[in-house]
Amino acid sequence: MKKWILGARPRTLPAAIAPVLVGTSLAHSDSISISWLNAFLALGVSLLLQIAVNYANDYSDGVRGTDEVRVGPIRLVASGMASAGAVKKAAYFTFLLAAILGSVLAFRTSLWLLAVGALAILAAWKYTGGKNPYGYQGFGEISVFIFFGLVATMGSYFAQSHKLTGTSFLIAIPIGALSCALLAINNLRDLPKDKEVGKLTLAVRLGEVKARQLFISLLTLAHLCVLLAVVISPWVLVSVLLIPLTIQISQKILAGAAGKDLIPLLGKTARLQLLLSTTLAIALFL
């Protein structure tokens, strides 16, 4: 069981929790009566999709051999801890669970969510799966911003309100930016190996210097958009207390942290996302 927990990559799960937390909180701030069942369904879908895409990436990268020499967290297929077939089945099973919960949520809110969910699953699989995975062409960050930022946050708000608003878009931007930052720091860590095997992530395409600048820009964008949410609640100004953590991470990135030194920074970036989203959620509740 331990290997499957490792394969699910727990450090990435804040990216699945944050959008549901913030989207649901915005609904509360709009004086909408919260359906906790819908909130838990949205959370379940988000978490399951995150875990499923992690398994799917493990399988696809493993069979392609792009994970044979890896600096980051253990991959099940590449390390031999699990067979490619077993990991593929785990991905399919987790996608299925996400689809079931998503279908229940759709029937409780809008059937349009069935189409959105299908697109999310297709995007998750095609990230590194199939003949021409878009993650190998530098489009991973765009997909993450759309599905783990805009769709997940605005979708969580829609599950409560049955509508979409400009404010739901505003608060989705920092969530998407920080989710992109998690992917960006992963790709920065793997840049030398990815370049060697022809995996053209955005970090490879930009080069190391610009990839570091992109990561810091994403953190900056997240803070700025949270502060802009002052139009919804003045309590968002409390988020400035997290700026020292952002500066600490950014300084180490600018100082040239690479390889294994980026692993703890990945954890701190995930912590920043969870803290910033929690701060924003509390501000919206207040």
The torsion defined by the Cα of 38, 40, 46 and 48, in degrees rounded to 10, comes to -120
Return mean pLDDT, the chain. Answer: 90
Which pLDDT value is given to residue 120?
Answer: 93
In this predicted model, what pLDDT tens digit does every residue of 237-284 receive, in sequence order?
A: 999 999 999 999 999 999 999 888 998 998 899 899 989 999 999 999
Which pLDDT value is given to residue 67?
Answer: 58
The torsion defined by the Cα of 237, 214, 23 and 29, in degrees rounded to 10, comes to 20
Contact status, residue 185 vs residue 170, Cβ threshold 8 Å: no
3-class SS of residue 190: coil
One-letter amino acid for residue 8 of the chain: A
91: domain range?
2-285
What percent of the chain has pLDDT above 70?
Answer: 96
Query: What is the rounded distance in angstroms from the CA atom of residue 161 to the CA atom of residue 34?
Result: 9
DSSP state of 8: T
Domain count along the chain: 1
DSSP state of 65: T
Query: Residue 54: which residues within 8 A CB-CB, separation 6 or more?
Result: 7, 8, 9, 12
Query: What is the rounded distance in angstroms from the CA atom of residue 159 to the CA atom of residue 87?
Result: 31
In this predicted model, what pLDDT tens digit does every residue of 174-192 receive, in sequence order?
A: 999 999 999 999 899 988 8
pTM above 0.75, yes or no: yes
Query: What is the rounded distance in angstroms from the CA atom of residue 28 to the CA atom of residue 23?
Result: 9
Alpha helices in the chain (DSSP H): 2-7, 14-29, 36-64, 76-79, 84-108, 112-126, 140-144, 152-161, 166-189, 191-197, 202-206, 208-228, 243-254, 262-285
3-class SS of residue 153: helix
Indicate the angle between helix axes 84-108 and 36-64, nearest 10 degrees.
Answer: 160
Contact status, residue 156 vs residue 19, Cβ threshold 8 Å: yes
Which pLDDT value is given to residue 225?
Answer: 95
Question: Does residue 69 register a pLDDT over 60?
Answer: no
One-letter amino acid for residue 41 of the chain: L
DSSP state of 162: S
